[in-house]
Amino acid sequence: MTDTIAQPVAADNPMKRVFAIRDFLLLWMGQSTSLLGDQFHFIALSWLVLKMTGDPLALGGVLALGGIPRAVFTLVGGAVTDRISPRRVMLISDIIRLFISALIAAQVLTGILPIWMIYVYSFILGIVSGAFQPASMSMTPHLVPSDDLQAGNSVMQGSMSLIGFVGPAAAGVMIAAFRDVKIGVALAMAFDAFTFVVSVITLWMMKSCGEIIAVNQTNAANGVLESIREGIVYMFKDPALRAMFILIAVANFAFGGPIEVGVPQLANTRFLEGAAAYGLIIAGYAGGNLLGIILCGALPKLSLRWMKVVMVVTFAGFGIGLSALAWINITWVAMADMFIMGILNGYISILLITGLQRNTAKEMLGRLMSMILLANLGLMPLSQAIGGVMLHWSVTLLFVIAGFMLLACAVYLAVPKVSALLAERFLNESSENA
């Protein structure tokens, strides 16, 4: 395997070192712009479906139809990423998404977008996203030296959270500014298409990542299905990875439906601000994520004992916070609730992601990232569909049941054997402080 990591200019500050890497800077610029467009796309599409149908079940169906192929093709995307290069996979994916976003914008503006076509677009985008995400998650370790990997992840995740804070609110305000929902939605989709243009250009300009991975002869001889099998075996042979996979899958099943289907319905029926409330509530979570990421870099490193405590507190906080949304009827309170959950998530996510990347061979990164994404996405379509059905019965019941599932994850993490296994595996160099 040939390693093509660019060497940064010497500097005491790891943030300065990662920004001195030309291709990392291009990656950061392009993906940050594209992520902003993604926020506009998600808010606009969700709001359009609710306004077209008035049925949260329809929104759950659209999200589920995108989530199913995304989960399935995540494994394929991880295998393909390891066989060619993350940059190529991302470039092809962004070109396809650029075309679809522009087409949706034109059809919404001209009034010729039926609901069945939204289902089709959601399905296609799910396939493309399944290929894109493992490639995107495996890029930074190929561009940044191991010593600066946590700084690189902090930059990428911090930018993602900042954009997640600004984007939904901006999209919600844009859509709410127009009496005709179609105009606001079309503009949001057009902006999303423009951001893909920026992403494609920056990916194309990269020099050292034209072929980030020189695939070895053994891997090249294997088929995609065999590569996927190798990734699955790699994951489930490792007790810590196996435990984390199960935990993430259950937690995201509990969290996905209530947030992606329940919160838009709350904004549409409970909060006076409507689309603006939806954007602000989602932005609150992203803002908390950003603060959590900043705190992760600023606070002292955790000992093993405190790492165990933080993992339990994080999932308990999610359970309590999600349950609280069942009764909150004031926008700023809901936003604050999501903000707190975001802090917890942002703090622990950098520790876990960096530990995972540092302890994985580069030729396996795409496949391992695809398995982690599968844990995130695999049960999401079912969660979204169930969320849509449950909203016909009771909003309160949806959020309370989801909250109890996350509390059950906290109890699982409180088992000494489980917490020790995960903390020791992903705490990195600070384990010596135990």
Average of pLDDT values for 136-148? Answer: 78
**pLDDT for res 356:** 73
pLDDT tens figures, 253-312: 888 778 878 888 777 777 777 777 877 888 788 788 888 887 776 666 667 777 778 888
As given in the structure block, the two tokens for residue 399 are: 């959020």
pLDDT of 111 above 70: yes
The b/e string for 42-77 (b: 16+ C-beta within 10 A; e otherwise) is bbbbbbbbbebeebbbbbbbbbbbbbbbbbbbbbbb
Q: Which residues, 6 or more positions from 218, have their beta carbon under 8 angstroms from its beta carbon?
A: none
| pLDDT class of 209 with cuts at 50, 70, 90 | low
Q: CA-CA distance, 220 to 162, in Å (whole number)?
A: 39
Q: CA-CA distance, 260 to 380, in Å (whole number)?
A: 10
**pLDDT for res 427:** 57
DSSP string, 76-95: HHHHHHHHS-HHHHHHHHHH
What domains can be seen in the chain, in order of their start residue?
Answer: 14-212+221-433 (1.20.1250.20)
Residue 219 phi, psi (nearest 5): -65, -35
pLDDT tens figures, 6-62: 444 445 667 778 888 888 889 999 999 998 998 899 888 888 888 888 777 787 778
As given in the structure block, the two tokens for residue 365 are: 């990164």
pLDDT tens figures, 71-91: 778 777 777 777 777 888 889
Is residue 202 within 8 A of residue 27, CB to CB? The reply is yes
Q: CA-CA distance, 23 to 213, in Å (whole number)?
A: 15
| pLDDT class of 425 with cuts at 50, 70, 90 | low
Average of pLDDT values for 402-407? Answer: 90
Length of the chain: 434
Q: Which residue has the higher pLDDT, 208 or 28?
A: 28
pLDDT of 99 above 90: yes
Q: CA-CA distance, 358 to 419, in Å (whole number)?
A: 20
